[in-house]
Each structure stands twice: as structure tokens, then as C-alpha cells.
Structure 1
């Protein structure tokens, strides 16, 4: 079987308009994929130079002439989707450790317009360092050095400013990155003229990316390569749904010309909080409220939850009846109640995707912090709107409390345990509040509902956990304690059957 390259798959070449920091699958499956689509439609006509910072190896790209395949598999509007695209948007991949001078040379390219990044969540953090190292160690250091070289080469030209679009999963990622660059500019004494050019002619955009992109498993890769008829060591696997929301003005819209009316999945607005809030409450919030119950049922993935009839009904009712009505809308097309409802149905399609192995245990990482950030405001809004207990939220919260019940500690790791099919399964509780719950659970006697009630009241009233006293919500303590008693005495399956 031949390997994918430009001999087997000829592709056009375009001017280098984008510098991208990062080679990961999210970038390949969302921004790079969308730029390729725009090129194919004759809208952007630009290519991407990629910087690899982690090591000096770029062989996997060079061997394929920077081509790779995106395999889209899943469900859209209830229908199965299977699409493959050979993406040719990348022109070069440069290793920061060995090709830094080539990267700085790109800063002098007058055609360059855009910088995209996806490092890590800590990758945007400020690191006090000289930007004149070759290369600087941090991503903000590398970006500052690149921008300074750009400034020097264009003489501070307004027309040669850049649009910087970070995609890291950090709140206000554009502002965080700008702050780090500005601090590095001061530390390195780059001068008032550079700081002025940076302030007025380099636009840092806050963004939201929403698409699950993965590397296929070995078996899936072999099957896909057999289907495609060629080898692809960069094969990228993704779901049909994708959204890239970018905070920007007319200048940003003009520069990011790969986005227009024909690409509704790319949204450029001066305020993208609607899209952030919608995703946080509906997708992320539902994950956090349903993961513990699904795991207590002995399920492993989100798709498993959707294939279990009672759990599937529970998830749909929780999302559509209790979460969706609380999500604020702006009352304008695209940001109204209809857009909220459509997103919810899209999320249900995504949850049902049989091609994604979205592990419940992976979702459980730092569950307490996620519960606070994603669901406390939703719970409070439900009470403001309906003045009643949201029963499915209450059950989800009770299952979370039971999931956080550690039976033992092993070398600093707290371990929980569930009974499934007459067997026991142990699992790690990867949560910084694990010790807190381990101590509080010692006060609970499973056959004594009064101790369960006291435990629930103590946890819900702890404002250090929730930034609010949830015990003041009428009936919520009783509802959570009632469900927790049922989970302890009857098990997850029977408890869910009484609600779903």
C-alpha cells in the first residue's frame, strides 16, 4: 500500500498566510481542515506554516509532503455521516529547536496575516525569559520574539499587523496571551514603539473551539487505510459537529477570509459569550451531571450511556427539560432560544456517536471543580425560573456524591469501588477534593438516613466548594439526600428506573 503524498494526491500550492504553533490533532481537525475547505472553494488561497515546539522531529509530515486525511464519522441530524478529506493546507512544518532562524525569517513575509496556536492550557502562562534565546522556551516567548522580528522588518507598518487566534481551552485565551506578550515586551525592554505597534496593530482574539478530534485506534487506522487505499501516519479522526467562535471586528473578518456566509461553523462576533455559555451549560454541564450515574451503572463511555434506554432518557430529560430552559439567549437569530435548542439536539447526536470512545472516567477528572463551574449557576437559574427542585439535577448530584466516596487510600491516591454484575470494580478519584470527601464520608452510615441527610446538608452548605450555599435552595437537600439513600440501599439501576 502506497503512502499518502503529493505524487499520489496532487495538491495546489498557496502563499504562506498563517503561522501555526502546534501540530496536534485539534488543529489538524478544525482550523487546518477549515482553511483547506476554504482553499478548495477559492475563498482564502493561503497556506499554513506549522511550528513544532516539543521536539525536532518533523519526519511524519515531510514523508507525506504535509498532507493528511481527516475522517469524519458520526451522526448529524439523526443520520449517519462518513466523509474523508485529504487536507493540503500545510506548506511546511518547522522545528523550533533546530529551525528558529527559518521561523524568524517568516516574520518578514509580507503575505503573512494570521497566527494560530494550540499549545496546552498552561502554554499561555507568562514565563520571565529573554526572547533573544534561539529559541525562547515558552510559547509567549516565541510569539513575542516573532512579533518583534515582524515589527523590525515592516518598520511598524499598520498594514502589516497580525491577527492572533489562540485556541487553547482557557477562558479569555486571547487576553491571557496578550498579557503575557506585553509583560515579556516590558521585561525585554523592546521599546515604546514596539509596544504601541503591538497595542494598535496586533489583534489578539478570544476564541472557543468545539470539536472532538482524536487519533484513531490501531485497528481503526488499519481499517480506514484499507478503505482509503493508502497509508497515512497522520490520519485524524473527528466527529461531524464543529464550531469555531472568534471574538473580532470587521478587520478580523476581513483578515480571516476563510470564514464567510458559507461557513456557519466559523463565527466571528464582537461578543462570543453566548457560545461559551451554551457549550458550558449544555454539553459540559450534562457530562458532569450524568457521568457519575453512568459509571455507577457499570457503563464505560458516553455512547454506552446513550445505548442504555433508561440512562438515555435521563440524559435527554435532564438536558432538554432542566438545563436548556436556564441558558440565557440574546433574542436575535443565531443567538436565540431556537439556537439553544438546536445546539442541545446536536449535542445529543454527538453523545450517540458510536465511533468515539469518550471514557466516563476521563470526564471525572476534577469533577468537583467542574460541578461548580458548569452546574451551580444552572441550578440557581432553574430555581429562579421554576421555584422547584430539578429532580434530575438532584439525582445527578447524589450520584456525584456517591462517586466521590473513597473506600481507601493507596500511596496518596483515593480509590472508589462499585459493584457490577456480582463483581467489584475499583476506580481512582482524580479530584483535588478527594481527601475532603474521604473524611466526610466517614460520618455516614449506609443504613442510617439521618447521617446521609447530615452529610448532604454539610456538603451543600459549604460555600468554599460551590461559591454559594446550596442548602438554602428549597427542597434541594431533601431531594439529594433522598436519592443518595436510594443509591446506597437499592443501587443505581433501580434508582434510575424510578426517575427516567
Structure 2
């Protein structure tokens, strides 16, 4: 079986209109996929040049003539979805380490309009360095160097400004990136004219991406390749649901011509906070509150949670009854309570997707920080709205505390244990607060239930963890303590059944 290539799968070649920093599956499975769809329908007619910063190996793309396959598998509104798309929108991939001059040459391309990025969250951080290195080290410095070359080549032309859209999962990612570029411009003494051009003619857009994109398992990959009749080293596996919300004005809408009325999955609006808040609370918040309980039950993936008859009821009730009512809405079509409810039902479909191996342990990374960012405001809003304890959230929080109970430390790495069947499974606690909980859990004594309540109150009142004192919420310490005692005494399965 031969590799995917343009001889066996001919594809049109379009002008290079997008520069993209990053080769990861999220970019391949969402922005690049959407550009491909627009090209196929004659709505954009542009290609993407990718810059790879991590190493100089680009043969995984070049060996396939820069083609790759996106396989969409899952359930949407109760219907099975299976779609396969060959993406030909990528024209070439350049290695920053060895082809930096070629990257800078692209800055002189009059067709170029858009810059995309996904360089991990820390990739947006400001690093004080010269942009005249070949290449600069950080992504903001690379971008500053590119924009400065663009400015010089177009003579500061207003018409040749660019739209920059970072997709890193950071709130206000566009503003953060702009600030880093402006600081680098000052540090490198690039001059007032460049600073003015940057301010008025380069549009940095905050954006939010929402799609689970993975590499397929070996078994799924073989099955898909057998069906397609070719090998694809870049095969990208994704769910049907996708959303790309971009903060922008009319200029951004005109530039992003691949986004129009036929693509409701791409939202361009001057304020995308509704979409960010909805995703953070409903999808991410549910993950953080259900992951610990699911793992304590011995489950491995999100899909396993939804197959478990009791756990699936808990997930649905927590999301629909305790989280959804607290999500702020704008009282207008598409940004109202109905839109939040519809999103929640879409999320439940996504959780049930049997084709995605969304591991619970992967969700557990930095669980404490996620719990604060995703769920503290939800708890406070629930109290403000209902003046009552959110019972499902209280159980989810108790399970989180038990998940954070380390039984041993090994060179700074902490490990917890759960009983599965007749055996014991050890798991890593990958959380910067693991040492904190390792110490606090030592205050809990077997046979002394009062020590559980003391421990819970100590944690809930710690404002360094939650940026507020959660122990002041009426009945919350008691509810979390009761659930934690039940989990310790009776186990996750029995406690969960009693709660419903």
C-alpha cells in the first residue's frame, strides 16, 4: 500500500495566503480542515504554509506531498457520523531551524493575509531576546521578526497588514501575544513607524477552539487505511463537533473569507466571551468534576463513564441541573439559555463518542488549577441563584479530594492508589499542588470522622487554592465532608448509587 500523494490524489494549488506556526493535530483537524472545506467550495482559494519550530524534520509532510486525511467519527444529535476528508490546503512545511530565511521571504508575499498559531500555552510567553537571531527562539520573537520583515518589504502599507489568530488555549490569547510582540519591538528598538504599523494594521484576534482531535489508535489507523487504500502517517482523528470563535470586526470578517453564512461553526464577533464561558463551565467544568469519581470507579475514558449506567446519570444530572443553569447568557438568539442547553446536549453526545480514547488520567493534569478556573464561579453562582448546596458538585469535589490522596512519593512524584476488582492500581498525581495534599491528608485519621471535616474545611478555606473562601458557603463543608467519609468507608460505586 503506497503513501498518500498528489499523483494518486490530485489536488489544486492555490496562492499562499496563510502562515501557520505549528503542525499539531488541533490545527490540522480544525482551522486547516475548515480552510480545506472552503477551498473545495470555492469560498477561499488559498493555501497554508506551515512553520515547524520543534525540530527540522518535515518529511512526514513532504513524503505525502503535504496531504493528510481527517477522519471524522462520532455521534451528533443521536446520529452516527463517519466522514473522511483529504486535506490538500497545505502547500509546504518549513523548518524554522534550517529554513528561517525562507520563512522571512514569505513575509514579502503580497497574497499573505493571515497568521495562525498553536504553540502550547507557554508558547505565548514573552522572552526578552534579539529578533535578529536566525531564528529567534520563542514564538513571539519569531512572529515579531516576521512582522518586521513584512513591514520593511511593504513600506508600512496599510493594505498589507495582517490578521493574527492564536489558537492556544489561553484566555485573551490574542491580547497576550500582541503584548509580547510590542515588548519585543521596544526591546529590539524597531522604531516608531513599525510600532504604529503594528498598532493600526496588524489585527491580533482572541480566539477559542473547541474540537477533540487525536491521533487514532493503531487498530483504528489500520482499519481506516485499509478502507482508504493508502497509508497516511499524518492521519488525524476527530469528533464531528467543532467550533472556532474569533474576536474580530468587519475587516477580520472580510479577510477570513472562508467563514460565512455556510459555516456556522466559525463565529466572528466583537465579543466571544459567551462561547468561552459556555465551554469552560459546561464541557471543561464537567470533566474536572466527574473525572476523579470516574477514575475511582476504575474507569479509563470519558466514553467509559457514559457507558456506566450510574455514572452516566450522574454526569448528565450534574451538567444539566447544576452547571447549565448558572452559565450567564446574553438574552439573544445564539447567546441565550437555549444555546447553553443545546451546547450541553452536544457535549453529552461528544462524551458518548466511542471512537475517541479520551483518557481520564489525561484530564487529571493540574486538576487543582482546573477546578479553580472551571468550577469555583459555578459553585458561587449556584448558591447565588438557588441558595442551596449543589449536591452533585459536592460529591464531585469530594472525589477530587480523594483522588489527590497520595500514598507515596518518589523523587518528587506523587502516586495514589485505587482498588480495581481484586487488585490495586497505582496512578500518578500530576498536579503542582500534590505535595500540599500529601501533607494535609496526613491529618485525616482512620476511625476519627471529625478529622475528615477538619481536613475538608482547611482545604476549602484556603484562598491560595481557590482565590476565595469556599468554606463560607452554607452547608458546603458538611456536604463535601459527608461525601468524602462515604467514599472512604463504602467506596465510589456504593456512594454514587446512594447519591442518585
TMscore range, shorter length? over 0.9
Offset, 1:436: 1.4
Q: What's the TM-score once normalised by structure 2's chain length?
A: 0.99
Any residues of structure 2 matched to 1:410-429 within 5 Å, and which? 410-429=410-429
Any residues of structure 2 matched to 1:251-290 within 5 Å, and which? 251-290=251-290
Any residues of structure 2 matched to 1:65-214 within 5 Å, and which? 65-214=65-214
Alpha-carbon distance between aligned partners in 2 of 1:396 and 1:6, rounded to the nearest angstrom: 51
1:150-205 residue CA offsets vs partner (Å, 9 max, x unmatched): 11111111010000011111221111111111111111111110100000000000
1:219-254 residue CA offsets vs partner (Å, 9 max, x unmatched): 221111001111111111111111101000000000
Q: Which residue of the partner structure matches residue 55 of structure 1?
A: 55
Offset, 1:96: 1.3
Q: Which residue of the partner structure matches residue 444 of structure 1?
A: 444
1:28-57 residue CA offsets vs partner (Å, 9 max, x unmatched): 100000000001111111111111111111
Does the residue aligned with 2:28 lie in a helix, a strand or coil? helix
User: Is residue 17–residue 46 contact of structure 1 (8 Å, CA) maintained in 2?
Assistant: yes
Alpha-carbon distance between aligned partners in 2 of 1:462 and 1:227, rounded to the nearest angstrom: 55
Offset, 1:60: 1.5
Does the residue aligned with 1:371 lie in a helix, a strand or coil? helix
Q: Which residue of the partner structure matches residue 359 of structure 2?
A: 359
User: Is residue 281–residue 323 contact of structure 1 (8 Å, CA) maintained in 2?
Assistant: yes
Does the residue aligned with 2:244 lie in a helix, a strand or coil? strand
Offset, 1:446: 3.1
Offset, 1:448: 2.0
Q: What's the TM-score once normalised by structure 1's chain length?
A: 0.99
User: Is residue 446–residue 488 contact of structure 1 (8 Å, CA) maintained in 2?
Assistant: no
User: Which sits farther off after the overlay, 415-424 or 343-352?
Assistant: 415-424
Alpha-carbon distance between aligned partners in 1 of 2:262 and 2:254, rounded to the nearest angstrom: 15
Q: Which residue of the partner structure matches residue 380 of structure 1?
A: 380
Q: What is the aligned length?
A: 500
Q: Which residue of the partner structure matches residue 466 of structure 2?
A: 466
The unaligned stretches of length 5 or more in structure 2 are: none
Q: Which residue of the partner structure matches residue 485 of structure 1?
A: 485
Offset, 1:122: 1.1
Alpha-carbon distance between aligned partners in 2 of 1:66 and 1:407, rounded to the nearest angstrom: 48
Q: Which residue of the partner structure matches residue 216 of structure 2?
A: 216
Alpha-carbon distance between aligned partners in 2 of 1:455 and 1:102, rounded to the nearest angstrom: 59
Alpha-carbon distance between aligned partners in 2 of 1:340 and 1:319, rounded to the nearest angstrom: 11
Offset, 1:460: 1.2
Any residues of structure 2 matched to 1:389-400 within 5 Å, and which? 389-400=389-400
Does the residue aligned with 1:292 lie in a helix, a strand or coil? helix
**2:3 is aligned with 1:13:** no
Alpha-carbon distance between aligned partners in 2 of 1:313 and 1:2, rounded to the nearest angstrom: 46
User: Is residue 446–residue 489 contact of structure 1 (8 Å, CA) maintained in 2?
Assistant: no
The unaligned stretches of length 5 or more in structure 1 are: none
Q: Which residue of the partner structure matches residue 431 of structure 2?
A: 431
Does the residue aligned with 1:274 lie in a helix, a strand or coil? helix
Q: Which residue of the partner structure matches residue 245 of structure 2?
A: 245
User: Is residue 406–residue 438 contact of structure 1 (8 Å, CA) maintained in 2?
Assistant: yes
Q: Which residue of the partner structure matches residue 295 of structure 1?
A: 295
Offset, 1:2: 2.2
Alpha-carbon distance between aligned partners in 2 of 1:153 and 1:200, rounded to the nearest angstrom: 17
Q: Which residue of the partner structure matches residue 475 of structure 1?
A: 475
